[in-house]
Structure 1
């Protein structure tokens, strides 16, 4: 099948590449000429395990192409996937400016059989508005479908190739049948293809992300309560996780969620509810808890040094909002960095892949190190924000030797508090009881 994917950001590039991997002829379209030139040369602008190799393989096989020209990519395409950004607006709602620009440029080149598929996360009603706009621009009915993505940064290739489910919103069963055919190679283990109304598909994406965000904020709030009553959140988590109604996923306490999806989608659904004259009490609480949780690690550091942080040096491990990505959007590390800098702290930072993005944001305000151990020399404390695997089995004798003060503030509970005490390290995690 001939496919066009408009937008070569995270979602668009993964989508186009995976469709080409299953034998389709895919053209990825982007107005950024420099990015197109890089992609044609096999240079990937984002970090995603396995993606670079897959892009190069499909370019070589002449199944994957990149262009900024709508005229040469759209007329022959059976399915056109729109995967442009829908960033959070000033009022919390999704900004659809890029989507409407694409629609206007796209319309003159659509074939009569074309299906326009919105892959971007958009508010309820957007697909029907797009269908109305395309009809007004072309003078005929254009099939529009919703196909929300459920990709996790760091595992996106597997998530696309082996999906839990594929969700599509359609207005005609024939559109559903075409999309089912396209996705069939990824559904060989009988995972469901769920076809529903446009509005239901749009809501599914928001509700899924908001549910996961709710679990994170809930366990973080319970972790903070555990500290106050002398309980251990790790033990509590095991106690509740074996209840099949609850499970273990997304019940790891930490310093809050970040990234391009959860914060934006929670705010967007809050905005949708408020526009319907409904106050989303739970979602408001989820957001408030997350904002507060990102400040927890700074408070622990400040309390330990009795508020005297001026001139202190802190080593910081982990900058990306989660492991296996270079994405720092809404990352908890940025909140911690901002507060520490404001308090007069010098920061020595490391992340396996997100350093350049952080450097572009902070410049010479921070000291950057290629190896996490090199951040420790002369540091008054170590703070851990992102749970990269290489941090999990640290050489604590070496850590102690390099740190000026034997203290670790662990925002991801990577280490055993009892072992830390035995090593002579003051250890502060999230929701952990004091080691007697």
Structure 2
């Protein structure tokens, strides 16, 4: 009996020592992380929110300002990704249609793929080849070309291409330098190029129209890619040019009996949106979500539905206003971003998620950052002037996977300085957690 009691005491003592050692280890790791991101550090010069969450144990290791709202920039695309994962599953909705003899009437469903050469191409021409006439209606378009809160002076840049129901060419046009004269890659704009006297090596677009200007004396650069002004009339014209058959613009309501043409696998769109942070694809994916839910293209309505259903249990209600994160009206807390990451992690195999996200030092927007012998950062970036965010998964040396949200707002430093200090924090986590 004495031996048994002594052995029990020994086991209890060892357990106490192990627990005590674990407590010390947890405290030391916390203090080490706090010394990098806590009070009186670089991250006290501006508004910073940070949270580290172990995915498999559900343990919050560290948080700073995780309850406060931040501008998430392009990490907003994680909301769009999750919405499409829940609603669209694995297919794209390209257009809806009704057949009548040798005619077909189509309504766009938002698919950004057709003639956008960075994406696999849906076989639209093959499908429409059997019809003598195509009618196009935009009656299901219930949105605006620009998102709420987008900056007006971004109209000139490819990252701010307009949204539309049936996009073609990514809603951008490029120019070739042919004998020092810009030549549009889209035939519809062949006669839209004019000259002006402003000293510019490239082509510029008029603010309100699809008139493009260049200076014959200074023009040397065939770029840049320029967004064009979208309209139902232009879509009909582009369809005529490509299909080589009559296309009539009509005003017909979309019937509930309309069939759906699915363009293909949505995964290439996800990859381009997540890794290259393509704003146009993100916005159009959100419109496809709306099409699937309501049979109309209304991003605000889609956001409201997703928030009230799939995101109703977030710790804090986000202000989510567009698909891409171009708008500064988007606001979200770090702890809500962590909950979102946990939802995404549960909705798809983790290895697939890690392949979709940009990998530090390997690809996408993280190709030149967070380099290591083996990638340890798998995360979506977000950057607009004076704001930088990184949300995703970190794989530590111990083999554990932690979700993290690192949001920085209102700094006056260069974004490269912010990333450099963030890397110090993430390297510490990699080695110690």
TM-score of the superposed pair, with normalisation by structure 2: 0.25
Bigger share in strand: 2
TM-score under structure 1 length normalisation? 0.24
**Higher helix share goes to which structure?**
1
Of structures 1 and 2, the one with the larger relative CO (CA 8 A, separation 6+) is 2
Higher Cα radius of gyration: 2
